[in-house]
Structures are given as C-alpha cells and as structure tokens.
Chains A and B, each alone.
Chain A
C-alpha cells in the first residue's frame, strides 16, 4: 500500500493461534499494532479467548473447528474463561 506521505505502508497482518491440546499455540505472540490475531479451536472441548483486562475483548465459546479474531492495539494477556489455567500473551513489536 503506498501512502500519500510517501513510502510504502505495511498492511496489517493476520496471525493464527491454534487452540490445541489445551494450550494456545503459540502462547507468546509478537505482532505489530493493528495486526489481527485469529484463534481456531482444534480441541474436542469448547474454549474461548478472554482478555485479562477488565472490559477487554472476549469471544463467545468456540466449538471444535470454530474461529474468532480481533485486532491488537496494545500489549495484552488473555486466558480461556472455561479453562482458566490456559493463558496467552501478545506483545507489540
């Protein structure tokens, strides 16, 4: 994408996190501000993704094969609200 101010602007990227074997894989992700992270549940049990911060983003329960995504604008941590011990981190580059 070429911006009016000159120079090429990188398009926001999409990162994929597998929810597999009761873990977010990868659990630690580094992204650019504005990038999208998409989680896909590959387990036999339902999971969700819930930002740890109060009033943060969260998905509905995800059945096997279902996905959910959100754009990331700050460093954040999250968990599965169904299996509270499952945790992940997203850090801005």
Chain B
C-alpha cells in the first residue's frame, strides 16, 4: 500500500544505526493534516535540513560536503521564506502537530549521532543521512502533503518544492559516491 511504502521510506530516512526515525508519525493510520498542519510540517522538514547543514559546516573539511551543505542551507531557507510569505498572505498560522513533533524528535537524535562523529566517518554519515532524509521527505510530500493540501497556492508551493528535493537527492547521491566502500 502507498502509505506503507511511505512509512517504509520514512523508516529508513536516517543514518543506518539510528533506531528511531520519522516512522512513528507516519506509521500509524494515515495522518490527516489540515493546511495549517501541512505548513508546519513543511517548515519543520526544511528547518531540520538547515540544522543538519549547520553541523556539517561546523565539522566537515570535505569540499564537496561543505558545498552541498551550503546549498542545502540556502535552498531550504528559500523554501521556508516562500512558505512563510504564503501563510502570512493566507492568514494561516502553521500548527504544530504529531507529525512535526515526531520529525523534530527524531532529528534531535540524528543530530546527536552526527555530532558524535568526526572526519570521514562524519562526512559519510552526514551524506548518507541526506540521501535517506530527502528520499523520506519526497515520499511524504508526494504521498501525504500535496494530496491533502486544500488551498491551491499551498498545493502549488509543495509541488514546486518537489523538484528541489529531487535535485538535492541527486546531488547527495553524487557526493555519496565519494564514500562508497570507505
């Protein structure tokens, strides 16, 4: 089933040895989100990747990883700025919910695991997580957020973010090749 595939995708959306992920929020019966909650999830998901990029900027010395992290920070900030502008225009206040809370809770665990690493081990863990995280977010955007968005402009914004996420995934996979077998 589509939802189980999303849950599976989200379940592997982290660095390999992490036990907890985004799974809890999406692994229950299909979450029903209203537009305020969708906006909150969208902003949260983007902010999480900005936070991961900040750790990479602090810890990595690999040029390709640093360039990638810089792009992630800038691009996801652009998405957040667009989302905030839209919800302001629509007089919608993003509403915290079980999904956004679960995203944040699992991100805290991932951040702790990343901070515990250094050197090439960190670089590999960071980029592996970026690949997995973007796959999970793409699945959630396509499978839950876009279909459930009611407002046409919110739906259009989410649809325009989808190619950004896919390009990020492709870029992350390209950088990941440096660390294959290491």
Interface residues of A (CB under 8 A from B): 21-23, 43-46, 82-86
Are A46 and B163 interface neighbours, CB within 8 A? no
Interface residues of B (CB under 8 A from A): 71, 74-75, 78-79, 82, 160, 163-164, 166-167, 170-171, 174
Given A21-B163, A82-B71, verify A44-B171 contact (CB < 8 Å). Answer: no
User: Sorted from nearest, which 5 A-B pairs have the closest CB atoms?
Assistant: A22-B167, A21-B163, A22-B163, A85-B170, A45-B75
Q: Name which residue of chain A comes closest to B70, CB basis.
A: A82
Q: Name which residue of chain B comes closest to A83, CB basis.
A: B167
Are B174 and A46 interface neighbours, CB within 8 A? no
The residues of A that contact B164 with a CB separation of less than 8 Å are 22, 43-45
Given A22-B163, A82-B71, verify A44-B79 contact (CB < 8 Å). Answer: yes
Given A44-B82, A45-B78, verify A85-B171 contact (CB < 8 Å). Answer: yes
Q: How far is the CA of A10 from the CA of B171 in the complex (A)?
A: 41
Are B167 and A44 interface neighbours, CB within 8 A? no
The residues of B that contact A43 with a CB separation of less than 8 Å are 164
Are B160 and A21 interface neighbours, CB within 8 A? yes
Given A22-B164, A22-B166, A22-B167, verify A84-B74 contact (CB < 8 Å). Answer: no
The residues of A that contact B170 with a CB separation of less than 8 Å are 85
Are B167 and A85 interface neighbours, CB within 8 A? yes
User: Would you list 9 pairs from A and B whose C-beta atoms are within 8 A, ordered by A residue?
Assistant: A21-B160, A21-B163, A44-B79, A45-B164, A46-B78, A83-B171, A84-B171, A85-B170, A85-B174
Can you name 20 extra interface pairs (CB under 8 A) apart from A21-B160, A23-B163? A22-B163, A22-B164, A22-B166, A22-B167, A43-B164, A44-B79, A44-B160, A44-B164, A45-B75, A45-B78, A45-B79, A46-B74, A46-B78, A82-B71, A82-B74, A83-B71, A84-B171, A85-B170, A85-B171, A85-B174
